[in-house]
Amino acid sequence: MMVAKSENAVATSSAHTSGASAPGDRSGHELHAKELKQQQRREQWSLLSLALPGALIVFFVIVIPVSWLFFLSFLGSDGEPTLQHYRKMIEYKSYARTFSTTFQVSLFTTLICIAIGYPLAYFLAQLPARWAGIFMLAVLLPFWTSLLVRTYAWLVLLQRKGILNDFAMQIGLWDSPVKLVHNMTGTLIGMAHIMLPFLVLPLYSAMRKIERDLMHAASNLGASPARAFWHIYMPLSISGMVAGSLIVFILCLGFYVTPAVLGGGKVIMVSTQITAILENQFNWGAASALGVVLLIATLLLLFVAARVFKFDAALFGKG
Amino acid sequence: MKHAQKTFQRKITSASNIATFAAAFVATSAMIVTANASAADPVTVVSWGGSYGAAQDAALFNDASKNSGIEIIRESGASMSKTCLQVESGSVNWDLVVTGSGGSAAAAAKGCLEKIDYSVVDVSDFYPNLYTDYCVGSDVFATVMAWNTEKYGEPGSEGAPSSWADFFDVEKFPGTRAYRANNVDGALEPAIMADGVPPEQVYEVLSTREGKERAINKIREIKDHIAVFWESGAMQAQLMKDAEVDMSTGWNGRFDNAAKDGAKVGYTFNQALLDYDCFAIPKGAPNKEMAMKFLAEVSKPEYQANLPFHITYGPTNKKAYEITTASKELVESLPSHPKNVPLMSPVSLDWYAEHRDEALEMYMELLSE
């Protein structure tokens, strides 16, 4: 889909330039059209060859290993084909629960990121470019800091005798320590913090592209600021929001470190269970089967969501 | 004339080329021959990070390498699953790997380990049960119950916790607990003992599905009080240091190191699980023979005698107790000391070989609730 689209863009742009270089040349029209077509084809090929290294990497680093995992998941420890790894996922309830936890954590993290990230991106987009750059550092600096460091920093802040609990008890906000970490709350706080830039960056660039004149025109025509926002600004920024949310959601599905450190062993993600199976049972087949199910569940979910929310348009720019 | 000169020059150059080649060839083959003759490829020794690996470097590896003349490369991140991956993919680059006893048994069952050559490695002074066909014990540790001494008192004092039943009694000892995460090793035994099964019958009871369920149910009773499930020894120490929990299961050496760092933590060997770490050689290790010789060297009592200075894990070689210069107090605090052994129950490798997979699935089910 992406390829087809860019080829079209090339075709139109090359047609434009050639047309401009030879205005009113009627006698060579036929020849010209032929040349144009050849040129177009050459450009298509050169574009394809530009994409070749990327395509090769995807093939060798993603397609082959994932197919290998898929194949492994149907092999028993004796090397015979079997469905035992999938049967085990039905037999023990822990697997269904792990998947449900994984999707819940990803969904909640995405929602928190939208709730915090949208106003933040809006604020940044309204600022003059220089100020926006400075405020953007507040988003980017944590982004450039190691994930592990940020995760442990949250642990220090949130634990029973941590800075936050100490402070709140000193000023009398609460009497006994509140459980802020080693549970779902801590996990979501940490993950939302780590994921926020992935939502803000695409959203900010989408908002920057919105013409201010549109808002002026709306108020000129009598729309209240709220109405102008909901009817003009929001729909135009939605593509950036969908793109950002999708990145956040999908990255969350594979998270390991943050839930392991801040979840206190109570937030068990699919990645945690894969590690447990590998470390304890050395069972590549069972671990692969979990990976395969997660991949398929994610693809299905995205497919359905794309249909329901019609965000394929937003993703691929057809709108 | 000119032409002849040129040919001549060319001949010279090509001759010198050949000479260079020949010299290079001789040199390289000489190198190969010397390499073969001395077999001086270093042995890759893989252990765990943190205070454990550092203690082994200081007590065992550095001196053993110096005295035996066997060169070693030290790596961290030892894991039996990675060892099996290397063996199965046919690209083994580890020679000697540290592992838990249970992990080595599982890896051996999968065919990932070489048999130990006991004509090279001398275990005549070892405690029995601390070496197997595939693994030679390196140190003895205990899975103990530790607690915040400010909250529940010093070990052995009046009213301090003294058995697993106390760990599971949240009315007598109100407070938060920590327990093992995502791994069933040493997780069911305390629960079943707390439920009234005497230590010597633990593995018999746990061999049935009902027995395992009984242990799981016991953990479920206090699950709301388990504030954290720990993933590593480093985490056990951190949880006690930060007073994040009041009581935890864990490995004795880690709690001793935490106490050294100022944590208010104490533990008891009573009803603890006696276990050991060991050295294994991956199947098809590139430098198998030298690894075996190095293993023989580090298993000597004179190195093990130094281990207690760096971490409170006991030697597997009885003789180490005779020759160690450590203080009486330190020696008596080691898990393999004859005074402490009778208090504990040894971990059953047979049970783990047969029941670990099922037990893990059941335990994960409890954790994910």
Residues B212, B263 within the same domain: yes
- Contact at CB, B182 and A268, closer than 8 angstroms: yes
Of the pLDDT bands very low, low, confident and very high (cuts 50, 70, 90), residue A307 is: confident
pLDDT of residue A26: 54
Nearest-Cα distance to chain B for A281, in Å, is 7
- Contact at CB, A93 and B365, closer than 8 angstroms: yes
| CB nearest to A280's CB, from B176, B183, B244 | B183
Averaged pLDDT score across all residues of chain A: 87
CA distance A23 to B214: 89
Residues from chain B that touch A264, judged by Cβ atoms under 8 A, are 227-229
Nearest-Cα distance to chain A for B182, in Å, is 6
Residues A147, A274 within the same domain: yes
Structure tokens that stand for B7 in this block: 């040919």
The answer to the question of residue B174 being in a domain is: yes
pLDDT of residue A315: 55
Residues A185, A270 within the same domain: yes
Q: Which residues contact B301 (CB under 8 A, 6 or more apart)?
A: B125, B315, B317, B318, B319, B320, B322, B323
| CB nearest to A268's CB, from B81, B184, B367 | B367
In which residue are the tokens 């709306």 written?
Answer: A218
The answer to the question of residue B38 being in a domain is: no
pTM score: 0.83
Of the pLDDT bands very low, low, confident and very high (cuts 50, 70, 90), residue A76 is: confident
The answer to the question of residue B13 being in a domain is: yes
Of the pLDDT bands very low, low, confident and very high (cuts 50, 70, 90), residue A313 is: low
- Contact at CB, A281 and B231, closer than 8 angstroms: no
Residues B134, B243 within the same domain: no
Mutation site for A-interface testing, chosen from B87, B228, B352, B354 by largest number of A Cβ within 10 Å: B228
What sign for the dihedral angle of Cα B149, B150, B154, B160? negative
| CA-wise closest residue to B274 among B171, B127, B168, B169 | B127
Residues B148, B197 within the same domain: yes
Tell me how many helices (H) and strands (E) chain B has.
Answer: 17, 9
Report how far apart, in Å, the C-alpha atoms of A51 and of each of A54, A55, A61 are: 5, 6, 15
CA distance B300 to B123: 9
Residues A137, A284 within the same domain: yes
Runs of H (alpha helix) within chain A? 2-21, 29-58, 64-72, 84-91, 93-126, 129-144, 147-158, 163-170, 184-208, 212-220, 225-228, 234-253, 257-262, 270-281, 284-309, 312-316
CB atoms within 10 A of CB A80: 9
| CB nearest to B182's CB, from A77, A92, A276 | A276
Per-residue pLDDT tens digits for A185-195: 999 999 999 99
- Contact at CB, B183 and A273, closer than 8 angstroms: no
Residues B57, B192 within the same domain: no
The answer to the question of residue A210 being in a domain is: yes
Does the pLDDT at position A6 exceed 50?
no
Mutation site for A-interface testing, chosen from B86, B219, B354, B368 by largest number of A Cβ within 10 Å: B368
Residues from chain A that touch B242, judged by Cβ atoms under 8 A, are 159-161
Q: Which amino acid, B109?
A: A
Host domain of residue B266: 142-274+345-367
Residues from chain B that touch A262, judged by Cβ atoms under 8 A, are none
The answer to the question of residue B236 being in a domain is: yes
Task: Please enumerate residues of A whose Cβ is less than 8 A from a Cβ of B.
Answer: 77, 88, 92-94, 97-98, 101, 159-161, 179, 182, 260, 264-266, 268, 272-273, 275-276, 278-282, 284
Question: In whole angstroms, what separates CA B170 from the centre of its chain?
Answer: 32
The answer to the question of residue A254 being in a domain is: yes
- Contact at CB, B242 and A161, closer than 8 angstroms: yes
> For a pLDDT cut of 70, what percent of chain A falls above it?
87
The answer to the question of residue A256 being in a domain is: yes
| CB nearest to B228's CB, from A97, A182, A282 | A182
Does the pLDDT at position A9 exceed 70?
no
Residues B102, B166 within the same domain: no
Nearest-Cα distance to chain A for B62, in Å, is 29
Mutation site for B-interface testing, chosen from A282, A283, A284, A288 by largest number of B Cβ within 10 Å: A282
Q: Is the ipTM of this complex over 0.90?
A: no
Residues B350, B270 within the same domain: yes
Residues B98, B148 within the same domain: no
Residues from chain A that touch B360, judged by Cβ atoms under 8 A, are 276, 280-281
| CB nearest to B364's CB, from A77, A273, A284 | A273
Residues from chain A that touch B89, judged by Cβ atoms under 8 A, are none
CA distance B105 to B117: 17
The answer to the question of residue A170 being in a domain is: yes
Task: Please enumerate residues of B whose Cβ is less than 8 A from a Cβ of A.
Answer: 79-81, 84-85, 106-107, 110, 112, 176, 181-184, 227-231, 242-244, 356-357, 360-362, 364-365, 367-369
Residues A150, A44 within the same domain: no
The conformation of residue A229, written as its DSSP 8-state character, comes to: I
Report how far apart, in Å, the C-alpha atoms of B268 and of each of B154, B160, B264, B335 are: 10, 10, 14, 10
Residues from chain B that touch A93, judged by Cβ atoms under 8 A, are 365, 368
The answer to the question of residue B37 being in a domain is: no
Nearest-Cα distance to chain A for B161, in Å, is 23
Residues B93, B204 within the same domain: no
Counted residue by residue, chain B has a size of: 369
Residues from chain A that touch B356, judged by Cβ atoms under 8 A, are 280-281
| CB nearest to A260's CB, from B106, B184, B231 | B231
Residues A124, A213 within the same domain: yes
Residues B222, B357 within the same domain: yes
Are A256 and A269 a contacting pair, CB within 8 Å?
A: yes
In which residue are the tokens 């000169």 written?
Answer: B5
Residues A2, A67 within the same domain: yes
- Contact at CB, B227 and A264, closer than 8 angstroms: yes
pLDDT of residue A309: 73
Residues from chain A that touch B97, judged by Cβ atoms under 8 A, are none
| CB nearest to A278's CB, from B81, B356, B365 | B81
Residues B54, B119 within the same domain: yes
Mutation site for B-interface testing, chosen from A68, A84, A94, A179 by largest number of B Cβ within 10 Å: A94
pLDDT of residue B149: 97
Residues A44, A125 within the same domain: no
How many structural domains comprise chain A? 2
The answer to the question of residue A24 being in a domain is: no
Residues A119, A233 within the same domain: yes
Does the pLDDT at position A68 exceed 70?
yes
How many structural domains comprise chain B? 3
Residues A54, A99 within the same domain: no
Q: Which long-range contacts (CB under 8 A, 24 or more apart) does B48-52 make?
A: B48/B76, B48/B77, B48/B78, B48/B98, B49/B76, B49/B77, B50/B233, B50/B234, B51/B253, B51/B254, B51/B257, B51/B310, B51/B311, B52/B233, B52/B253, B52/B311
> Residue B276 in 3-state DSSP?
strand
Q: Domain of B152: which CATH number?
A: 3.40.190.10
Burial class (CB in 10 A: 0-12, 13-18, 19+), A287: buried
The answer to the question of residue B178 being in a domain is: yes
Does the pLDDT at position A16 exceed 90?
no
CA distance B140 to B337: 10
Residues A222, A293 within the same domain: yes
Spans in chain B with pLDDT lower than 50: 1-16, 18-23, 25-38
The answer to the question of residue B182 being in a domain is: yes
| CB nearest to B360's CB, from A93, A280, A284 | A280
pLDDT of residue A306: 83
- Contact at CB, A279 and B227, closer than 8 angstroms: no
CA distance B34 to B77: 32
* A312 or A53, which is more confident: A53
Residues A64, A96 within the same domain: no
pLDDT of residue B30: 45
Residues A66, A96 within the same domain: no
The answer to the question of residue A86 being in a domain is: no
CA distance B27 to B171: 78
Are B282 and B83 a contacting pair, CB within 8 Å?
A: yes
Runs of H (alpha helix) within chain B? 2-38, 50-56, 62-68, 80-88, 101-109, 149-152, 164-167, 188-194, 202-206, 209-221, 233-241, 252-260, 288-298, 301-304, 318-323, 328-332, 349-367
Residues B280, B351 within the same domain: no
Q: Which amino acid, B110?
A: K
Host domain of residue A39: 1-15+29-72
Are A113 and A250 a contacting pair, CB within 8 Å?
A: no
Residues B133, B244 within the same domain: no
Per-residue pLDDT tens digits for A133-186: 899 998 898 889 999 999 999 999 999 989 999 999 999 999 888 999 999 999
Q: Domain of A188: which CATH number?
A: 1.10.3720.10
pLDDT of residue B129: 87
pLDDT of residue A185: 96
Structure tokens that stand for A317 in this block: 């720019």
